[in-house]
């Protein structure tokens, strides 16, 4: 049989993959009578055997080889003298054979599978520590719930636009609910893993994806109770305002990718401006002795009611703003956006994206409307910061809000001026 260059490359990849996985297993097999059966040579031979079985193209040879390797792995596990009851090595040996087969069919994909398997085997201690020590039982349940919502529930939701929602499809709204729940989980885990300082910053950023106003109010009440920790809490509140810009971008991307491209420069500028000034609030705080007394996370990290309220608000405001444009034109549209943004900035942005994807609004109109929405909502958040946290807290948070709005406006003006 003539050996094609592609097959030679595939066999070489199979050998390399077998050696790579075998080196990792050789370091784990131990020494003496209690060592495991498969090591460097066994894995290299299994990978090459799979590659040859595929290259020879004898009917049934690949399947027969797989059965043979599986039987060898089963016998090895049965006769093993090791105290480890696991079957990782045996399963890895069988998988290595299959990767050898795949390496001849598609060398690049086979090599990627081999590297992935070797990395998975090498991360044994880290994965065990994550599963048993770092991850709590409740967080595991929350993760399974998110996976079920994303992989089972979300595909069943209709993807076609609905007229009463101003042309918004229900599935993107459901995806936003899933995103909000995921950010809630991130903030919960961050607070437990990173401690008070890092947890407060990341929790503030994650909270901004749900409600920057609520995050600023919560941190403000804590800043009033613990004035020495006001800098860290103001920094977290500033990062929540940065998340508002990014959340607006995510909403646009979910409903109208073309509108998201137009909003992208402005949103990134606003996020960077708010985050930069928010983090400046931490200057001089490094030597503060007392820790931030954020409450330890207990119970479930997921708050479905909040996520559903946000999604419902998005749909209602989208319908209302769409009707305002139909009745009063662009002036009514901008006025409706400003009124809606007093309570929430993301809902009017969703309506703008829906109007854009329906062909009723230009990209520049989306950019202007998004700027109005976040600008008006920034006033609301500034008032909330003053009421909840006092004058010093409000000054720091207001500086982050103003910086984000100023940088976003400057970038929007510059791009609009350059496009003329």
Whole-number pLDDT of residue 292: 44
**Rounded Cα distance, 350 and 355, in Å:** 9
Q: What distance in Å separates the CA atoms of residue 233 and residue 388, rounded to the nearest whole number? A: 12
Q: Identify the pLDDT of residue 291.
A: 42
CB atoms within 10 A of CB 35: 15
Residue 168 sits at φ, ψ, to 5 deg, of -80, 135
Distance CA 43, CA 45 (A): 5
Output the pLDDT for position 22: 85
- Cα Rg of the chain (Å, integer): 28
Token pair 């200057």 in the structure block, residue: 283
| pLDDT score recorded for residue 272 | 92
* Residues 6 or more apart whose Cβ sits within 8 Å of residue 105: 10, 54
Crossing angle, helix 195-225 and helix 304-341, to 10 degrees? 60
Instruction: Tell me how far apart the alpha carbons of residues 74 and 77 are, in angstroms, rounded to a whole number.
Output: 5
Cα 278–chain centre separation: 22
User: Which pLDDT score, from 0 to 100, does residue 30 have?
Assistant: 55
Q: Residue 403 has what pLDDT?
A: 92
In sequence order, which residues have a C-beta less than 8 Å from that of residue 301 and are 6 or more positions away? 138, 139, 142, 184, 185, 187, 188, 189
Strands of 5-143, DSSP E: none
Q: Using CA of residue 338, residue 339, residue 340, residue 344, what is the dihedral sign?
A: positive
The confidence score (pLDDT) of residue 294 equals 44
Residues of the chain where predicted confidence (pLDDT) is lower than 50: 1-2, 287-297
Predicted confidence at residue 278, as pLDDT, reads 81
Taking the whole predicted model, whether its pTM rises above 0.85 is answered as no
């Amino acid at each position: 049989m003539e050996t094609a260059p592609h097959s030679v490359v595939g066999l070489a990849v199979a050998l390399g993959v077998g050696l790579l996985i075998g080196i990792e297993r050789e370091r784990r097999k131990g020494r003496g009578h209690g060592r495991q059966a498969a090591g460097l040579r066994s894995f290299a031979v299994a990978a090459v055997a799979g590659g040859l079985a595929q290259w020879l193209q004898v009917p049934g040879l690949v399947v027969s080889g797989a059965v043979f390797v599986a039987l060898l792995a089963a016998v090895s596990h049965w006769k093993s003298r090791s105290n480890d009851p696991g079957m990782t090595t045996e399963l890895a040996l069988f998988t290595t054979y299959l990767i050898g087969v795949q390496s001849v069919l598609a060398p690049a994909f086979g090599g990627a599978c081999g590297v992935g398997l070797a990395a998975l085997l090498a991360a044994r201690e880290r994965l065990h520590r994550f599963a048993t020590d770092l991850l709590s039982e409740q967080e595991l349940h929350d993760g399974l719930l998110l996976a079920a919502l994303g992989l089972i529930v979300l595909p069943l939701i209709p993807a076609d636009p609905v007229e009463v929602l101003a042309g918004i499809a229900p599935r993107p709204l459901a995806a936003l609910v899933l995103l909000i729940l995921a950010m809630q989980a991130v903030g919960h885990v961050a607070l437990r893993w990173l401690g008070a300082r890092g947890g407060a910053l990341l929790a503030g950023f994650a909270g901004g994806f749900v409600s920057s106003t609520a995050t600023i109010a919560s941190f403000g009440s804590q800043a009033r109770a613990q004035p020495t920790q006001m800098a860290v809490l103001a920094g977290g509140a500033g990062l929540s305002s940065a998340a508002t810009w990014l959340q607006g971008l995510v909403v646009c991307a979910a409903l109208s990718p073309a509108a998201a491209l137009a909003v992208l420069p402005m949103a990134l500028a606003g996020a960077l401006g708010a985050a930069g000034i928010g983090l400046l609030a931490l200057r001089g705080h490094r030597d503060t002795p007392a820790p931030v007394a954020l409450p330890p996370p207990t119970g479930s990290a997921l708050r479905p009611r909040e996520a559903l309220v946000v999604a419902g608000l998005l749909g209602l405001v989208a319908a209302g703003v769409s009707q305002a444009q139909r009745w009063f034109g662009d002036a009514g549209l901008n006025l409706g956006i400003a009124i809606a943004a007093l309570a929430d900035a993301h809902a009017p942005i969703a309506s703008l994206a829906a109007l854009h994807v329906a062909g009723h609004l230009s990209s520049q109109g989306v950019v202007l409307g998004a700027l109005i929405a976040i600008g008006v909502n920034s006033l609301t958040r500034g008032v909330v910061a003053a009421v909840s946290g006092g004058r010093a807290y409000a000054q720091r948070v207001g500086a982050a809000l103003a910086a984000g709005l100023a940088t976003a406006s400057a970038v929007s003006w510059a791009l609009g001026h350059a496009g003329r």
